[in-house]
Amino acid sequence: MNIIFYILGLSIPLLIIYWLVNDKLKSMVMITGTIIFLWYISLPSLLVLIVSSLLIYFTLQQFNSNAKTIVSLILSTAGVLFFFKINIKQEYISLGERVLPFGLSYYSFRQIHYIFESYKKKLPKHDFLDFLGYLFFLPTLYIGPINRFQSFLKDNQRKRWDSQFFSYGLERILYGLFKVTFLGNFLISLKLSNYSGNFIINYPWLYQYIQMVVFYLNAYFQFAGFSDIAIGLSALFGYRIMENFNYPFVASNIADFWKRWHISLSEWCNEYVFQPILSISRSFIISIFFSIIVLALWHEISYKYILWGLLHIIALNVFHFYNNTALYQLLNKYPIMQKVLGIFITIHFVMISFMLIKTDDLKDFGNFIKILFLVS
């Protein structure tokens, strides 16, 4: 059974206790629930989360205005993520087989966000329990979004029962499950993928095209579905969590795409990589290079993801320069045509770039391109 069902199952008794106890104990209930869950799923994951959280909180309590301490904390948090990512042997997991500590990719970025904001003195007044509640929040532990501490704290202090919001949460979970199971797994991965088999001999380019669509749509429905479940589950506990997707297939350019796909991660990279580097270097190219490389390596440390990142860097730069060309000014006179053309080019670029991740190696990707564009 998938881990998401363990989270949903554990959430039922947790929710009953959570809404029965008084406000002061609610955070404790959530933290305890997460600890029990991690203890059962993977004890090392629990230890990594506890040790890193304690280290960050108490170091910041002592030296939160010392730049050297801040840099060391960020580097050590990123280093832990890098260490586990580079050692990962399998990309997906079943219970008990996980190599990467559970949820590390998400909470390490939350921790870095907390360190940055603490240094900038932008964090509202809070205590240790608020901090732990943020990192030990079960609904978003597994698959994000990388929510922000400030908005979390607002909900954490409110904790008001709202039957309409609770019902909204249940609806989001249902839609999330629908996206993952019916749309992603059944309709796209099974039915559409099998249907494409009809074209494998006579129209290999069409077969490859459908396979590319299958991979992109499946990734979207799975990821957006899991995000819906996380957002819905958070709503059941009274928390409003930021959206992670906003119809990425209608993005009219690549910059727009990154404002619609995995929003919490791209905003994180914008805030903590792009903006700081831009303020130092004053160079769009350098800033976009580092932020997309961080974004790519966050997914997986491999040459395929670096190449995928480079493709997006090139596309973002091309779009940046295209904005200042006469062609852009000319097409601007025909906004509908520009929009349609933009959507067509963006979605196809994104799908082709995603195939770089799906294919086994560069040779495989080269063969895919040749077949798709009827070169062979």
Among the listed residues 374, 19, 375, 351, the one whose alpha carbon sits nearest the alpha carbon of residue 166: 19
Smallest separation (angstroms) from another protein to the CB of 97? 11
Could you give the C-alpha distances from 105 to 84, 225, 257, 308, in angstroms and in order? 10, 19, 22, 19
Smallest separation (angstroms) from another protein to the CB of 157? 28
What CA–CA distance (Å, rounded) separates 2 from 20? 29
Q: Which is nearer to another protein, 48 or 123 (CB)?
A: 48
Smallest separation (angstroms) from another protein to the CB of 237? 21
Q: Which is nearer to another protein, 156 or 218 (CB)?
A: 218
Q: Which is nearer to another protein, 305 or 319 (CB)?
A: 305
Q: Please report which residue ranges of the chain form alpha helices under DSSP H.
A: 3-20, 23-41, 43-63, 67-87, 104-119, 128-135, 138-141, 149-158, 163-177, 193-196, 204-236, 254-257, 263-269, 275-281, 284-299, 303-322, 326-331, 335-358, 362-372
Q: Which parts of this chain interact with another protein (CB under 8 A)?
A: 2, 85, 88, 90-94, 99-100, 103-106, 143, 167, 171, 174-175, 177-178, 180-182, 184-187, 189-190, 218-219, 222-223, 298-300, 305, 357-358
Smallest separation (angstroms) from another protein to the CB of 92? 5
Smallest separation (angstroms) from another protein to the CB of 142? 8
Q: Which is nearer to another protein, 177 or 212 (CB)?
A: 177
Q: Which is nearer to another protein, 117 or 300 (CB)?
A: 300
Radius of gyration of the chain (CA): 22
Smallest separation (angstroms) from another protein to the CB of 263? 16
Q: Which is nearer to another protein, 92 or 161 (CB)?
A: 92
Among the listed residues 137, 143, 167, 131, the one whose alpha carbon sits nearest the alpha carbon of residue 53: 131
Smallest separation (angstroms) from another protein to the CB of 108? 11
What CA–CA distance (Å, rounded) separates 300 from 91? 9
Q: Which is nearer to another protein, 106 or 152 (CB)?
A: 106
Q: Which amino acid is at 46?
A: L
SS3 361: coil
End-to-end CA distance of the chain: 43
